Amino acid sequence: MTVPYSYLDRQFSDIDAYLDDIRQVVQAGDFTLGAAVERFEEQFAALTGLPHAVGVGSGTDALILPLRALGIGPGDEVITPPNTFVASVAAIVMVGAKPVFVDNNDEYTIDVNQLDAAITPRTKAVLPVHLTGNPADMPAITHICERRNLAIVEDAAQAILAAIDGKHVGSWGAAAGFSLHPLKNLNVWGDGGVVVTRSAAMRDKLRLLRNHGMATREDIHIWGANSRLDSVQAVVALRLMSQVRDITDRRIANARRYDRSFADMSDVITIPRRRPNVCQVFHTYVILVSERDRLLQRLLERGVRAKVHYPVPLHLQPAASGLGYKPGDFPVCEAHCRSMLTLPVHQHLTSQEIDSVAGEVRRFYGR
Amino acid sequence: MSSVAGIPFVNLSAQHRALKDDLLSAVARVLEHGQFILGPEVAEFERQFAEFCGVRYAIGVGNGTDGLTLALRALDIGAGDEVITAPNSFMSTTSAIVMVGARPVMVDSADDLNIDVTQIEAAITPRTRAILPVHLTGRPADMGPLMTIARAHHLHVIEDAAQAVGAAYGGCAVGSFGTIGCFSFHPLKTLNACGDGGMLTTDDSQLNDRLRVLRNVGLKTRDDCIEWSGNSRLDTVHAAMLLVKLPYLDTWIAQRRAHASEYCRLLADLPQIQLPAERPHERAVYHTFVILAERRDALSAFLASRGIRTAIHYRVPIHLQPVARRLGYDRGAFPVTEQQADRILSLPIYPELTRHDLAYVAAVIREFYTRSSA
């Protein structure tokens, strides 16, 4: 049995339509912030139900640019969870601010109950992460942030189409950053990102910040870098727009199939709570398991490309040595990092493949 | 002289029409292996690009601006530091310095439109960490004296070679002089990606290692984040297409240089314009062909009325942009740059132009000055 983690060869097995679109971009020479990017932005905004979307160079930049647009910088603190991809924290550091961690909860998102205690007079924003495609508790976070007058930038890199009570992620924060990285649910052929926002002023500022601060070449009022979604990537994204709901549904169905297979194994497998009012989109399917490293090894030997997201909490990474954290500071996150396991869940896996992965897991525990 | 249908300032589709099949096949190959991020084409293009520039290492990045920012960051240049640069450039030369928290200190231009090396020493302070010359228009800055100054004062040199791939000074390629060289593959560059892309060059193996970490969110391995950093990678699909184009680069440069010398031959006797005068030890690649013209705006309008599109690089010097007010430079701070800004005009120079096109442009310029003096 081989269950690969990557599925790009299956997803793009019929490439001619994509190449036709790219051919048109190449022929027109319309490579930079052209018509395709605008069309993608319109469609992405519509997909999320938010009024504005701005295409940028990467998911990381989709966090950096909103933080910069909010004027967050040196001397400011931004609160985020320690179990996430490094970019959530890097974005905060890149604008010159200080990341302050708050432990994760048992759904792998930020523990809202510990948020208040981490807020200081220097706190300017909270950056919750919708890890695995599971939305953080945005109503509760919003409640706290409104009371404490803090901005919210949602890290929705893994969470396209994730929603709470039918409201798409991105609906709570000042802005939300999405990634279009090749392994994301809506995936382009290189790096790409998109920011959504309810605010026209935020949108306008993001458009300047992604393009050298230039309204026109003759009149530059803010310093900005270069972070644009390439037109060739936008045409790929446009073609995938019609598929993304189906992709998401298949991932959800695969996840539910795993959930059912593991339902009677709560002694060795902890499945995070599935809230009925929440749409989790399963960018990754992550469970907590006993004897994780041995199980992971077994699965790899059997051709199942399981992974760990992420084995080292960010507060314990070498990069964080200057932030003053130590082992034990975030016990929930640290325990998760020792027992988390990511099983393949992508849309190209069949029910049979899901069942055989689940079967390997069950056999490992002698079930 | 018969009129032509029109001469656009750039003509991207002409270049890509010829290479279209090869470019799309390259993209299709990437799709087959699926390594869209830092795939084998990136490594291969880096290898070939390093060889082209005569350096040990080349590191693909997301765009030319990020290249400058990463170069500064890799040299630990930040808050409290000063970097000497030129006010006549694209914005990002200066914005990269601002973005890392350092202070840009500007030096006026010389008659080659590049930094005036005779004024650099006066701008050096105890806080100066680096000189960031720009090889504007594809013409190398005066790297001989500049490197002597940098060595004497123990300063890094970061070359902004965004417009200058293939340019040389004293037989050495730009990008091989400084601690780090920065290149852009923006679609309008001589070697151009079908989107944003950039490259850094260096001979220093430690900088090579650090730049590879810095471009990839600080990750040394998938699970080992050794410093916080952003994401700025050259896409594999862009590298694959650049590999198709690189073999043509010498030809394209030769065509641009031939066009430049043809313009110079055709326009040499016009006293109202000043032409770029390449010095014997320089090899300019004419990313742009910039003349200094009397009554520039009227000339530009006249050319446009005859179907010839021109551009101005750059109409507003960086120190006079609204955003630069806080840097403390007033009008008059850099008189040469400011005078040039009123006279510079970029004529069309892409390889696909014919001799007929060039003759037409020259004839219309001549007509403009003949009419206005009559």
* B11 interaction partners in chain A (CB closer than 8 Å): 29
Using only C-alpha atoms, what is the Rg of chain B?
21
Are B226 and A319 a contacting pair at CB < 8 A? Answer: yes
What percent of chain A shows pLDDT beyond 90? 89
- Quick: pLDDT tens for A185-238: 999 999 999 999 999 999 999 999 999 999 887 788 899 999 999 999 999 999
pLDDT in tens, A289-341: 999 999 999 999 999 999 999 999 999 999 999 999 999 999 999 999 999 99
**Is A342 part of the contact surface with chain B (CB cutoff 8 Å)?**
no
For residue B374, the model assigns a pLDDT of 58
| Mean per-residue pLDDT, B16-28 | 90
Residue A340, beta-bridge partner list: A288
Q: What is the pLDDT of residue B359?
A: 97
Give which of A202, A278, A225 is closest to A45, Cα–Cα: A202
How far is C-alpha B83 from the chain's CA centre?
18
**What three-state secondary structure class fits A255?**
helix
User: Which chain B residue lies closest to A221 (C-alpha atoms)?
Assistant: B323
pLDDT value, residue A289: 98
Average pLDDT across chain B, whole number = 95
How many angstroms separate the first and last alpha carbons of chain A? 19
Residue A31 in contact with partner chain B when CB distance is under 8 A = yes
Which of A27, A86, A218 comes nearest B218 by C-beta? A86
What mean pLDDT do residues B25-44 have? 94
- Measure Cα distances from B156 to A11, A200, B115, B207 in Å: 47, 42, 16, 13
Q: Do A225 and B69 touch (CB under 8 A)?
A: yes
Residues whose CB is less than 8 angstroms from the CB of residue B53 and which lie 6 or more positions away in sequence, other chains included: B165, B173, B174, B175, B176, B181, B201
Query: Which two tokens mark B359?
Result: 């003759």
Interface membership of B18 toward A (CB under 8 Å): no
**Does CATH number 3.90.1150.10 belong to domain A244-364?**
yes
pLDDT value for B3: 46
CA B90 to chain centre: 8
Enumerate residues 100 to 139 of chain A having a beta carbon within 8 A of any beta carbon in chain B: none
**B184 at A interface, C-beta within 8 A:** no
Please enumerate in sequence order all residues whose Cβ is within 8 A of that of B269, keeping only pairs 6 or more positions apart, or say none: none
> pLDDT tens, B276-331?
999 999 999 999 999 999 999 999 999 999 999 999 999 999 999 999 988 999 99
pLDDT score recorded for residue B91: 94
Reported as a pLDDT band with limits 50, 70 and 90, residue B372 is confident
For residue A17, what pLDDT band results from cuts at 50, 70 and 90? confident
**What confidence tier does B5 reach under pLDDT thresholds 50, 70, 90?**
low
pLDDT of residue B2: 39
B65 touches chain A (CB under 8 A): yes
Please state, in angstroms and rounded to a whole number, the distance separating the CA atoms of residues A198 and A175. Answer: 7
Each domain of chain A, given as residue ranges in start order, spans: 8-241, 244-364
Supply the pTM of this predicted model.
0.95
* pLDDT tens profile B82-117: 999 999 999 999 999 999 999 999 999 999 999 999
CB B371 within 8 A of CB B21: no
Closest chain B C-alpha to A302 CA, distance in angstroms:
22
**What value does the mean pLDDT take over residues B28-43?**
94
Q: Is some CB atom of chain A closer than 8 A to the CB atom of B311?
A: no
Is the pLDDT at B213 greater than 60, yes or no?
yes
pLDDT score for A207? 96
Suggest the residue from A12, A14, A21, A26 to mutate for an interface test with chain B (most B CBs closer than 10 A).
A26
Contact A97, A77 (CB under 8 A): yes
B238 in reach of chain A (CB within 8 A): yes
Whole-number pLDDT of residue A318: 96
For chain A, positions 205-224, list CB contacts with chain B under 8 A. 212-214, 217-224
Residue A11 has pLDDT above 90, yes or no: no
- Mean pLDDT, chain A, whole residue set: 95
Tell me, yes or no, if B243 comes closer than 8 A to chain A by beta carbon: no
Architecture of domain A8-241 in CATH? 3-Layer(aba) Sandwich (3.40)
Q: Give the A window 221-240 contacts with B, CB below 8 Å.
A: 221-228, 230-233
- Would the CB atoms of B217 and A232 count as touching at under 8 Å? no
Chain A residues with CB-CB distance to B34 below 8 A: 6, 8-9, 12, 182
The DSSP bridge partners found for residue A270 are A288
Cβ distance of B62 and A31 shorter than 8 Å? no
Lowest mean pLDDT among A26-35, A75-84, B93-102, B119-128: A26-35
Q: Taking CA atoms, what residue in B is nearest to A193?
A: B231
Please report the residues numbered 284 through 313 in chain A whose beta carbons come closer than 8 angstroms to any beta carbon of chain B.
310-312
The 10s digit of each residue's pLDDT in A108-134 is 999 999 999 999 999 999 999 999 999
